[in-house]
Amino acid sequence: MTEDEKQAAITRAGAYAIADWLETRGALGRPIRSLTMGELERMAGAAISAGILARAEVAWRIGDDAEMARLLVG
Q: How much is the pLDDT for 38? A: 93
DSSP character for 29? Answer: T
* pLDDT for res 34: 92
Instruction: Give the pLDDT band (50/70/90) at residue 74.
Output: low
Total tally of structural domains belonging to the chain: 1
Q: Residue 17: which domain range?
A: 3-73
pLDDT in tens, 21-63: 888 888 888 888 998 999 999 989 999 999 888 888 889 988 9
Looking at residue 41, its pLDDT comes to 93
Is residue 73 packed enough to be buried (19+ CB in 10 Å), middle (13-18) or exposed (0-12)? exposed
Task: Say whether 30 sits in a helix, a strand or coil.
Answer: coil
Is 57:16 a contact under the CB 8 Å cutoff? no
